[in-house]
Amino acid sequence: MSRRWSIAGQLFALQVLVVTLLVVAGMVGAVLLARTDVRTAARERVLAVAEAVAHSPDVATALRSASPASRLQPYAEATRQATGTDFVVVMAPDRTRYSHPNPDRIGQPFVGEIGPALAGRAFTTVNVGTLGESVRAVAPVRDADGEVVGLVSVGITTEAINRKLLAQAPALLAATAAALALAAAGSWLLSRRLRRQTHGLGPAQITRMYEYYDAVLHSVREGLVVLTPDRRVALVNDEARRLLGLAGTSLAQDRRVTELGLPPAVTELIVSGRPAHDEPVIAGDRMLVANQRETTFHGRAAGTVLTLRDHTELRTLASELDSVRGLTEALQAQAHESANRLHTVLTMVELGRTEEAVRLATAELSLAQQLTDRVVGAVTEPALAALLLGKSARAGERGVDLTVDPGSRLDGHPLPIGDLLTVVGNLVDNALEAVAGTTPPRRVRVHLGATEAEVTVQVTDNGPGLDPSQVTEAFRRGWSTKSPGRGLGLALVGQVVARYGGTVEVTRPAEGGTLFSVRLPIPGRSTVPGQPADQGRAADQGQAADQGQAAEPGDPTGPEQAAAAPEVGR
């Protein structure tokens, strides 16, 4: 199979061919121009010599003498040698020569045109005479009365002109060779640079590569952002535009990252240029997993490649799975504990201590039934009620007292259950993490409320509290108090709040800890001041205050406020 030429090789060959043709054409043009210039110079020269001889008084006097040839031949030869011409012929009007470089031609008729000179006008022409083809001039010789008494013809042979032209050939050829060499060197340098830029690929290979890469970039379900070393966007595929909210194909190309209005977490990651491996970032209401690394080519930095995967649904499902797993583990623990208690009751019955066995069994059943009745009575949604029961069991295992506010009420399906599970589950998990490791008593309180316009979720803990400077970061980056970058619970809560256009408020109760208040508007309904929504909010605040929870910011009767998070999604 024959080796295919690269683009650089084809360009070099084409340039060499074009340059060679141009140089050859230029050389031919230069030769023709030089030939014309030499002929023009010869015409002017012979005409000047002919007119000078014709106007010489000695020539007119010699033409009237008895022996013109004897007087004119020496004069003509001296003039010919002095002017460097090939012949100076003085003749009578009837063409009889009185002088000639070849003395044998004297007395013979002149060969060539003389008509204009006989009419009294000097002229130049190219004729073939006894010395061959020549450029000649013929001028009239006049007497004192102005009558033409003779003619003077001065000429330079074409052979002499060609010899003079050939004398210039070496310089012309040297200039041509230099121009050709310079053009070839420039073409080679240009082709070498192009070869480096195209990596020696041919047109067919580049076309095929472009078609394949374009198809892949438009079809891959992973966001791809390619950046130049100076942090300008070189390429953004369709999925990256969708994930980052970049509308328009040409809006992002060749612009700095800071000018695109990307989500803060994405902008910070790109600007930092640090390597990232499966790093979670928040982009609007999406949870993305980012991978970033610098690319090099032949040891030279070629830019940065950022890939993005949408893990929003996966994170939501994982959160729900964690809730279900927690409930399962809690049920297993309760089953194990119930088996132990049942064995204890049976043993006490066998020992004849029936009354004590009944009291023990009824007391345990009463506590469990009281918790179940409170949760089920307040929350009619089975999945949410099961979540709270599971969280209560897990809290009990950790030594945490998790209670549901008796004033809580959530009937029906005001919002999709998946979003409610995400908000309640992650807020409770966050509260359990906050009180973990603290000295007893450890308490977590949950309040759920709903009006015709919105759903309210409040979770209070008596942990060390959230630093005001950490509130915004906690919701933006999935930050955790245990270790940065570990938790994603609050980030998921922030996504749900942003999706519904709700609010999140973080306050610090007087006795310490943190109160998270989340309000989610019900789609298609609005909150009008003075309507039940406001009344429900006041009731929620009152119930929170009765149980030691902090009222929301702005309540003059509430405890001291430590920090208030900005509205998420607004």
Same-domain status, 466 and 331: yes
Does pLDDT of 485 surpass 60?
no
Residue 215 domain flag = no
Look up residue 242 and give its two tokens: 């969708």
Supply the pLDDT for residue 565: 37
Does pLDDT of 526 surpass 60?
no
Residue 208 domain flag = no
Final residue in a domain of this structure, among 167, 189, 207:
167
Indicate the Cα dihedral angle 10, 15, 21, 26, nearest 10°.
180
Final residue in a domain of this structure, among 310, 334, 358:
310
Q: How far apart are CA 103 and CA 108, in angstroms?
A: 10
pLDDT band at 71 (very low <50, low <70, confident <90, very high): confident
Supply the pLDDT for residue 330: 63
Number of neighbours of residue 557 by Cβ within 10 angstroms: 8
Residue 392 domain flag = yes
pTM listed for this prediction? 0.45
Residue 335 domain flag = yes
Same-domain status, 156 and 276: no
Same-domain status, 293 and 348: no
Same-domain status, 320 and 450: yes
- Which of 430, 418, 420 is closest to 491 using CA atoms? 430
Where residue 464 falls (left for φ over 0; alpha for ψ -120 to 50; beta otherwise) is: alpha
Cis peptide before 109 (omega within 30 of 0): no
Q: How far apart are CA 501 and CA 337, in angstroms?
A: 44
Same-domain status, 459 and 527: yes
Residue 346: CATH number of its domain: 3.30.565.10
Task: Give the containing element (helix H, strand E) for 287.
Answer: strand 286-297
Q: The domain containing residue 64 runs over which residues? A: 8-167
What single string gives the DSSP state of each residue in 206-242?
HHHHHHHHHHHHHH-SSEEEEE-TTSBEEEE-HHHHH
Same-domain status, 300 and 337: no
Q: Would strands 148-157 and 286-297 be described as parallel, antiparallel, or unpaired?
A: unpaired
pLDDT band at 251 (very low <50, low <70, confident <90, very high): low
Look up residue 97 and give its two tokens: 């020569």
Average pLDDT, the chain: 75
Note the residue count of the chain: 570
Residue 311 class from Cβ within 10 Å (0-12 exposed, 13-18 middle, 19+ buried)? middle
Q: Is the CB of residue 139 less than 8 Å from the CB of residue 53?
A: yes
Supply the pLDDT for residue 439: 84
Does pLDDT of 131 surpass 60?
yes
Q: Could you give the maximum distance between any two Cα atoms of the chain, in Å?
A: 185
Same-domain status, 121 and 256: no
Same-domain status, 391 and 304: no
Same-domain status, 397 and 331: yes
Give percent of the chain above pLDDT 90: 4
Residue 137: beta bridge partners?
Answer: 124, 154
Q: How far apart are CA 198 and CA 98, in angstroms?
A: 79
Final residue in a domain of this structure, among 284, 310, 336:
310
